[in-house]
Structure 1
Amino acid sequence: NCAEGYVPCGTGPCCHAATERCGDGTCHPRDEGGDGGDAGGTGSALLDAVQAAEYRTWARPPGAYEMPLTPARSPHGDFVDIYINDVVAQALAAETGTLTAWPEGSIIVKDGWGDAEGTDLRFLAIMEKRANGWYWEEFVGDLAEPEFSGVPDVCVDCHVSGEDFVRAFGLP
């Protein structure tokens, strides 16, 4: 049984020949076409919340993205900074193998920079784990309006390869 807006693997947008996880019985976002629709928030409310929480003071994930301005080969920028809220940081401290999904309330923010000095912010992405699954917002340029929000296919199609849709680092 999947939460509202989600379907069992094998019926969602993630399930295509290149996806090894198909048939694993997990739930994935339902394809709603276009940008995937809005999962219950406004485009600016989440950005306002993470900015008010001073997300750039948050912890960084372990591994390759622990250092600032990590060179990247991704659609998110030439250099990226990833920040995790306390919910994710506490989950990462769990005993290895005890979590199969990130807890509700997890927030991951990625700044995408066009330069190694971190002066040319080109992209900002936010993932928030809600009761019904992940909610994404993606901003380009001046951050005035999200380019994508909700459960957009462009996010899901790439992130499905990660553990519970997180690609930059794994579950403990």
Structure 2
Amino acid sequence: MALRRSVRIRSESAAAPGGARRAAQEVSLHATCVAVDGQGVVLTGESGAGKSALGLQLIDGGAMLVSDDVTALFREGPRLIARAPLHGAGLIEAHGNGIMRLDFVDQAPVAFFVDVGPPAGERLPEPAYRTELGISALLLRADPANPASAALIRLAVAHGPPHIPDSV
């Protein structure tokens, strides 16, 4: 699975001590991001996997659009922050219907990543993580064809991600 990504240096608006400007790395991913209760959920996967469709399901359930197709991540202290590139803010593709302009939030702290695609096979997989800019975040899986996928993501934000109890 090849992921499109680029890394660039972006100038921070805040000046470091002595008036020097700070620079921070930023990574661009082929991904959709929505904010569920203010927490960023970054939907990754192959082209055509259903990232935008799952994003629309989450937005229909109350989430806010952060970005579609390209998501920029930058580090703010110990957290990853997701935002849209300037040219795509507020836009999301409704596959087969065109581009929709929606209300959006400028950025959101990343709670976790979701690998969008068909089921992986394991019913109770070990936890997986994805690391960007030196920060690891949980990686869940979601099948956009499964009507429970959007609910799983909303519940993971509200109550914590699924886990395997010690007694299983």
Q: Bin the TM-score by the shorter chain.
A: under 0.3
TM-score (structure 2 length as normaliser): 0.25
Q: Which has the higher strand share?
A: 2
Greater RCO between the two (CA within 8 Å, min separation 6)?
Answer: 1
Structure 1 or 2, whichever has the larger Rg, is 2
